[in-house]
Amino acid sequence: MKRDIPGSRRVSEEDVEIGFRIRKVRQNKGISQKEVAAKIGITYQQLQKYELGRNRITATTLLKIAEALEVDAGALLQPANDSASLFKKYALHNLDQAAAGLWKKLPSERHKIVLVELMDILHDAAHSRTAPPQQRD
């Protein structure tokens, strides 16, 4: 697993997993993003970025989120036994959601046709490789 350099502002795999656990706990408790965000003094969009792993969460914010969700902060940091498989499903689901959202924003049918053709070309290229590409000298 790739680790961030101390002081780095990049989002890590661990940040995404923490966001996943926050979302899972919040949804299990039936609490909306707006409710949690209001309790801790941020916008629901910022909470959404934390949950999707797009922004890093400070320790202070994590503690506030845990308090708003009425859970121990450690519960948001410790993966459950099944978290690896759940995390992969979550990540794929978010990709599907992102693609669907972008698809709706395409300005015309022609753009959608071009995108489908591009995806078809990428699919064919990925499956037509029988040997790794040759390196040039």
- 67-101 pLDDT tens trace: 999 999 988 988 765 555 555 555 656 667 767 77
| Residue 11: predicted pLDDT | 75
What average pLDDT does this structure show over 92-119? 81
Q: What is the pTM of this model?
A: 0.57
Instruction: Choose between 64 and 130: higher pLDDT.
Output: 64
CA dist 114 and 110 (Å) reads: 6
Neighbours of 100 (CB within 10 A): 9
Q: Which tokens is 77 given?
A: 């940091």
What average pLDDT does this structure show over 11-28? 86
Number of H helices, E strands in the chain: 7, 0
What average pLDDT does this structure show over 109-135? 78
**Residues 6 or more apart whose Cβ sits within 8 Å of residue 17:** 53, 79, 83, 87
What average pLDDT does this structure show over 99-127? 85
| Residue 137: predicted pLDDT | 52
What average pLDDT does this structure show over 21-50? 93
CA dist 46 and 23 (Å) reads: 13
